[in-house]
A = this chain, B = another copy of it.
Amino acid sequence: MSKRDFLSTADLGRSELDDLLDLAARAKGKRPGQVLGGKTLGLLFFQPSLRTRVSFEVAMVQLGGHCINLSSDDLYELEPRDQAVMDGPAEEHVKDAARTLSRYVDALGIRSAQRAGSWDRERQELLLRSYAKYASVPVINLETSFEHPCQALADVMTMRENLVTLKGRRLTLLWCNHPEPKSLGPTHSILQMAALMGMNVTLAHPLGFEVDQDVLDRSKKLAQDAGGSVQVQNDMDTAARGAEVLYARSWGCTKYWEDAEREAMVKRSLQGWRVDEKLMATTDNALLMHPLPVRRNVVATDAVLDGPRSVIYDQAANRTHVQKALLMQLLK
């Protein structure tokens, strides 16, 4: 079976990741031409998207291909459960949508980051995994609550552009306050990919905002194998001190995954978890990263987001380049 999906950072080993980043760097330097002429990528968005949508569409267009965008507004409800007796609201089974789309397009991207009950259920990525199971063309994860591997690719590319080598470099992944519960996808993905690159990662968050245990365990193992480390820190100031990269991002509380009000209550005392110039001054002249969209002056201040060490737009721009490399590898 030749089908190859990109659902998780775990789908890439270290040498494959290096190859992909090298290809992305070459594609950024010089457009590869119409290498995907006549190919189509179907994108299904079950949540709003700016960067993912536009960066994939631009990537395909510049490679000579074409994107077909479907949002949940264009579609009826889909049933993900096997053997369901479909007498409810769902008009079509994911099985049939995936198999049908596989006859039309050359690859499928799925964004499905909506809350779906408890964290135990959420972490199974049911809708994405169901598409991947039934599609006969490559399926790309455009973000779930559990992983956002395309973002992590762009993040690693951006760090390599600035730091050249990543092994042993000090990256702090910093939880920040936010008015709403957020996906853990970007955090989980950069945590694992930075570990794979052998970085020394400090994962910093208030008590109660632990990431998924399996992801943390896997990251520690990956880091160890690659000569780096992963440690958890619950004090913001300690975590930021000496960092070479400060990666800000909020994420939701998995324990209260179904109870947004309780999370909001907990966060009332956490408004100090925010990146400002004072915090940046304690780092080792760190790069400031964030996957966007960012709540300005809540997650981080205007001064640091617009400051000289911010690479937030490079992260966004590099989405196009890493995705070109990914699409070339999956579709050529």
Contact = CB atoms under 8 A, between A and B. Distances in A.
Interface of A: 31, 38, 40, 42, 45, 48-51, 53-55, 57-58, 61-62, 66, 68, 70-71, 73-76, 79, 83-88, 91-93, 95-97, 99-101, 103-105, 179, 292-298, 302, 312-313, 316-317, 320
Given A50-B101, A58-B105, A87-B179, 9 more contacts: A49-B74, A50-B97, A50-B100, A61-B66, A84-B297, A88-B179, A91-B293, A91-B295, A104-B320
A122 B135 CA distance: 37
A71 B48 CA distance: 10
B70 A297 contact: no
Contacts of A49: 74
A316 B83 CA distance: 22
Contacts of A316: 100, 103-104
Complex A-B, nearest 5 residue pairs according to Cβ-Cβ distance, in ascending order: A92-B293, A103-B317, A86-B295, A85-B297, A100-B316
A50 B313 contact: no
A308 to B, nearest CB: 15
Contacts of A312: 96
B96 A294 contact: yes
7 contacts: A38-B62, A40-B57, A48-B75, A51-B100, A61-B66, A97-B293, A104-B316
Given A50-B100, A54-B104, A104-B320, A74 B87 contact: no
A292 B75 CA distance: 13
Q: Is the interface of A mostly helix, strand, loop or mixed?
A: mixed
A91 B312 CA distance: 16
Nearest to A180: B91
A68 B48 contact: no
A104 B313 CA distance: 10
Contacts of A297: 83-86
Contact of A96 (B55, B70, B73, B293): B293
Contacts of A298: 85-87
Nearest to A88: B179
Given A38-B62, A42-B54, A87-B298, A313 B73 contact: no
A165 to B, nearest CB: 25
A193 to B, nearest CB: 21
A54 B294 contact: no
A50 B76 CA distance: 9
A137 to B, nearest CB: 12
A148 to B, nearest CB: 16
A296 B84 contact: yes
A70 B86 CA distance: 29
Contact of A104 (B55, B73, B179): B55
